[in-house]
Structure 1
């Protein structure tokens, strides 16, 4: 009789594929790290400039599916509590969904997600399929992260005075 071993379900394989795809789309000098306790943050992305680290970072909520959604948008279901948690973070949050069928991921900044009703447990986010991760302009993301970071630091400095 052959020994039996634990099974690795396809959903775990798909998660690994989506993580590798996401990391493969980043500029080579940028780094990512995971979190031990996932309350909606799957990745921290550190923005580096060539060989120099920077204090800039953003957070990523990464979803995946085997098939893509129909129509012009990709759909993510998110818990309202997760949205609230991510919204109240100081860092910029990028949502991404990888689709195995097309081997593509789609992205949206959390700032562009309409606020959900607090009466619901979950809500639907629609990401335009024109927002492909493979063609994202990371310089624009970096500029936005820098803008938000500077604004929050300035607000904090003025508060202390």
Structure 2
């Protein structure tokens, strides 16, 4: 007598649970044939109007408690995702906890950094990458930024926002002053953001390193030797 495998049951369960997490107005479609992509999701606003925003999803499900927060990806898969016109979310479903972790493929690739000749990589999700109530809004924000980047005027000044939340309060004024001086010296290239809907570069300084990012689409981190950290403090003098 034919018997359904657990893998098939788990696959269907993950699809059903994922669709249940999406806003009611969003449309989730199966991708057939399946070449490493399971779903295509189209974003609609609260009134049911199309936004023109779409993303792809690769669903990975597990019954394992140990593997619920990580996923193994073939490097060929990551290469394939990079060739696609639409961004890809790699989602990990844990049947044990009935929860999802998620992250964009471009972010996963930047963090695991496959070496030449490496056939697969393991990505371990952070606790902050657990799907929650704010996740759909974060997804939509990234898609909007991605679209804005594709049509960003050539030669236009880039808005820069400074996030001081990870610095001690005594360093806030000096750091703000350094950014102000940088913008003044780069007039026409850098500017203060006037509209949060615009593309903007986020600068997130910490005591020993500096992160520069555009939403979750692109980021780079610079180590700050202790000698260089003194530049910020000295700038206030």
The TM tier, using the shorter chain, reads 0.7 to 0.9
**Structure 1 position 67 matched with structure 2 position 61:** no
Q: Which consecutive residues of structure 1, in runs of 5 or more, have no partner in the other structure? A: none
For residue 35 of structure 1, report the CA deviation from its aligned partner.
Answer: 1.2
How many correspondences in the alignment? 150
Distance 1:24 1:45, change over 3 A: same
> What residue is the counterpart of 1:129 in the other structure?
127
Cα-to-partner distance string for 1:101-133 (whole Å, 9 max, x where unaligned): 111111112222123224122111111133222
Counterpart of 2:15?
A: 19
Please give the residue correspondences for 1:1-161 in structure 2 after superposition, counting only pairs within 5 Å: 4=1, 6-50=2-46, 51-69=48-66, 74-113=69-108, 114=111, 115-152=113-150, 154=151
Whole-angstrom CA distance in 1 between matches of 2:127 and 2:63: 16
Q: Please, what TM-score do these two structures have when normalized by structure 1?
A: 0.84
Larger relative contact order (Cα-Cα within 8 Å, sequence gap ≥ 6): 1
Deviation at 1:136, TM superposition (A): 4.2
Change (3 A) 1:136 1:14: farther
Q: Is the 8 A contact 1:104 1:134 kept in 2?
A: no
RMSD: 2.0
Give SS of 2:44's match.
coil
Cα offset, 1:20, TM superposition: 0.7
Q: Tell whether the 8 Å contact from 1:92 to 1:148 is kept in structure 2 after alignment.
A: no
**Separation in 2, partners of 1:132, 1:150:** 26
- Give distance in 2, aligned partners of 1:37 and 1:118: 29
